[in-house]
Chain A
Amino acid sequence: MPEYYLRFSLGQRLLHGLLMASFLGLATTGMPLHFNQSRWAIWLAHTLGGFGVMGFFHRTSAVLLTLCFLIHLAHLGHRLFVKRELAVLWGPDSLVPQPGDLVELGRHVRWFFGLGPRPRFGRYTYWEKFDYFAVFWGMAIIGGSGYVLWFHAFFSRFLPGWIFNVTHLIHGEEALLAVGFIFTIHFFNSHLRPEKFPMDLVIFTGRVSEDDLRTERPEEYERLSREGRLAAIKADPPALWLRNFGRIVGAAAVTVGLVLFTLIVFAVFGR
């Protein structure tokens, strides 16, 4: 019986679930609007109840994602200001990019070209940090511009008119970037890469096996055992139903994402 360790808490997993659902909702209802001249976009919008209905679901998803963003900020604030966990800001348990990440990136590229060994990854790899901040930045920029567009009359009281043209552009282009990023790079790095194909269930089960932890994140494993923290995060093996749940939800999300991405590629290069 292999040992399992907890990597993501239930709260983190639920928050990721909310993020996933609202992001997929936003992408499915937003991209047909961005590519409104494409035949598939018209078909999809019509099938989902028309562009008006899509606008409603787009805004609903936006509110959910905003909620997700605020809960995360509140959680971070609590850890930082109430529990005084400075590890949030720096060190191996932090998502903040640090000089070591650049070294890791360099080593990874060297490994790509067969010029060195694979880097010894820790709790968060450089690309996971990039993922995190891409989403963080995306939520702030796309969300912010989205609210300006939603309440344009209100914002026009104190913002100059050109802001709306720019927010309109930014909202669409950043969204395109976000969708392109999540549906290819995030999917690949987290799930589809050969080491994990077809799916890494850790975001659904929260648990990682001792073997996986040791081979994928040796730096993390050694640090935890050195500091005697491994026992504290020991967990039950993930239940079968939980693994199946993760497989179904994950497969559905990846499918929707890849289909949407294919359609976007058609729309971008087909015109």
Chain B
Amino acid sequence: MIPRVLALIPLVILSMGGSAAAGPSPSEEAEACLGCHGDKDLSTKLSSGEVLSLYVDQQAYAGSVHGDKLGCLECHAGMDEVPHPAKPFRTLREFTIAYYEQCKRCHFDNYTKTLDSVHYARLARGDARAPVCVDCHSAHAITRPEVPRSRTSHTCAKCHQDVFAAYAQSVHGRALLEDENRDVPLCTDCHRSHNIGDPRTPGFLLTTPELCGTCHTNERVMKKYGLSTRVLATYLADFHGVTVSLRRAAGTGVAGLTALCIDCHGIHDITRVRAPGSRVMQANLVKVCQRCHPDATERFPAAWLSHYEPSWKRAPIVYAVTVFYRIFIPFVIGGLVLQILLHLWRVVVNR
């Protein structure tokens, strides 16, 4: 928390300095540029043949988070020379990728986070289609990305249409898209927003139980929907969860990995357990088991206690066995150790 507060200090100083400094205010500066760039038809042709529109919607910019803070030259440095110096962009994409670097001058924190993202990794490999700041946030009409809440997920959907379609049908997606529900996860809640990791890596997969657990162990939220908060604990105590813990501890690969939350419940298409067609319903469960245990029969899924902890009510036999050993082992070992102690005592006394 403290570093974040400290990080704000230079920003505050900068904004105070900005207002005190002499020179054109952001709106005055914009006014000058918009003399030309307010023209809807202003454009230039790139060597690729693509047409780059040079129009800036004054209303949209004024309504953006930067509207009353930044003048045009803050990002478009060097453009106070008229006519503007020539820029060597051949394609629209080259232009975008060159200009997105401007964001880091203020948003250095988030910019560095993007360097760890799967998107940047693609960009670094030379895939110019990988999204940069402005692809998600837009360039001039930047408003708060999570207002309304569903907007974030719609942003991701611009590229990830299939995933979004599945998500939109899920219990999480429907609550978000229909009610702007504040409890369900957005894309970014699981995948993060700037440092979006590759969800196929062992590092990501092995932490998914805790990821789901961040909400599903939250008493306040789960109570609203009548869901158990013991799902993570019961999972981790069971054979699948134990294997996950072991893999994580050993830092070994993901090949032949055990079942994670997402393997049974689905990833983006998660439904209520009791929803019609739910894959984890008792009737459908064997199909899920068979994905890893191809020989599993109809009886097999009963080995899974459905996140219930054994008790006299649930799985009484399993519970009875647990109780039996809790008494039996100390009794046997204790009794025999007592015999050893008595034996030693006798030897000492006889000496």
Contact = CB atoms under 8 A, between A and B. Distances in A.
Interface residues of A, number: 43
Contact of A112 (B246, B300, B333, B346): B346
Given A42-B249, A156-B299, A181 B322 contact: no
Nearest to A160: B299
A81 to B, nearest CB: 33
- For chain B, which range describes its interface: under 10, 10 to 19, 20 to 34, or 35 or more residues? 35 or more
A239 interface: no
A145 to B, nearest CB: 11
Chain A CB within 10 A, most for which of B239, B245, B250, B304? B250
Nearest to B294: A153
Interface in A181-205: 181, 184-185, 188-189, 193-195
Interface stretch (A5-13, A18-26, A166-174, A222-230): A166-174
A258 B304 CA distance: 36
B253 to A, nearest CB: 10
B31 to A, nearest CB: 65
B246 A165 contact: no
A169 B347 contact: no
B163 interface: no
B307 to A, nearest CB: 13
Given A36-B242, A45-B250, A156-B296, A161 B325 contact: no
Given A46-B250, A162-B318, A168-B239, A194 B293 contact: no
Interface in B294-350: 294-297, 299-305, 310, 315, 317-318, 321-322, 325, 328-329, 332-333, 336-337, 339-340, 342-347, 349
B245 A50 contact: no
B340 A184 contact: yes
B15 to A, nearest CB: 50
Contact of A111 (B247, B249, B346): B346
Given A36-B246, A160-B299, A170-B321, A181 B315 contact: no
B252 interface: yes
Interface in A117-166: 127, 152-154, 156-157, 159-166
B340 A162 contact: no
A173 B281 CA distance: 31
A112 B329 contact: no
A165 B242 contact: no
Contact of A161 (B301, B321, B346): B301
A160 B297 CA distance: 10
A208 to B, nearest CB: 20
A222 B347 CA distance: 25
A221 interface: no
Contact of B303 (A114, A164, A176): A164
Contacts of A159: 299
Nearest to A195: B347
Most buried by B among A111, A114, A164, A195: A164
A154 B252 contact: no
A262 interface: no
A156 B285 CA distance: 14
Given A112-B342, A114-B346, A153-B293, A169 B318 contact: yes
A188 to B, nearest CB: 5
A207 B339 CA distance: 27
Contacts of A156: 295-297, 299-300, 303
Contacts of A112: 339, 342-343, 345-346
Interface of B: 239, 242-243, 245-247, 249-250, 252, 293-297, 299-305, 310, 315, 317-318, 321-322, 325, 328-329, 332-333, 336-337, 339-340, 342-347, 349
Interface of A: 33, 36-37, 42, 45-46, 50-52, 109, 111-114, 127, 152-154, 156-157, 159-166, 168-170, 173, 176-177, 180-181, 184-185, 188-189, 193-195
30 contacts: A36-B246, A42-B249, A42-B250, A50-B252, A51-B246, A51-B252, A109-B342, A112-B346, A114-B349, A152-B303, A156-B295, A156-B297, A161-B300, A165-B303, A165-B305, A165-B310, A165-B317, A165-B318, A170-B325, A173-B329, A177-B332, A180-B329, A184-B333, A184-B336, A185-B333, A185-B337, A185-B339, A185-B340, A188-B340, A193-B343
